[in-house]
Amino acid sequence: MAGPPSGSGPLLLAAVDDTDPYDGYPVQLDRVQEDVPLAQRAVIVHQPEQWPAGCFCRNCKARWPCRLHAWGLTVLHAAGWTGVQIAELVRRAGAGEVPWA
Ligand SMILES: [Zn+2]
């Protein structure tokens, strides 16, 4: 049985999915309030960007949602933030207003 030709033809760059959604960063529930500023930053900075090969993080280039975006969302939800509040945070940051400035 013949396999694919090797050493000929164009080099195909395949997207590497190095993010396992079940292998995220840990969230320490006893310190979520302290982590809120970092989580806000992670959610704002790690936004999706559409490419022909799929959706990737604008910052870390991993398949989106990347680990840091997922961590930020988990921390903010654990701290009591709603999806609407998080969307508003991202919208305001997109308009140039960032919470750490
Ligand atoms: Zn990222």
Query: In the chain, what are the domain boundaries?
Result: 29-94
* Residue 10 pLDDT > 80: no
CA of 95 to the centre of ligand 1 (A): 20
Identify the pLDDT of residue 24: 82
What is the Cα–Cα distance from 45 to 6, expressed in whole angstroms? Answer: 40
Task: Give the mean pLDDT of 25-39.
Answer: 92
Give this prediction's pTM. 0.74
Question: How far is the centre of ligand 1, averaged over its atoms, from the C-alpha of 7 (Å)?
Answer: 33
Mind listing the pLDDT tens digit for each residue in 42-90? 999 999 999 999 999 999 999 999 999 999 999 999 999 999 999 999 9
CA 88 to ligand 1 center in whole angstroms = 19
In this predicted structure, what is the pLDDT of residue 1?
Answer: 45
Element (H, E) at 49: strand 48-51
Question: Do residues 90 and 44 lie in contact, with contact meaning Cβ atoms separated by under 8 Å?
Answer: yes
3-state class of 54 per DSSP?
Answer: strand
pLDDT of residue 8: 47
Neighbours of ion ligand 1 (CB under 5 A): 46, 57, 59-60, 66, 68
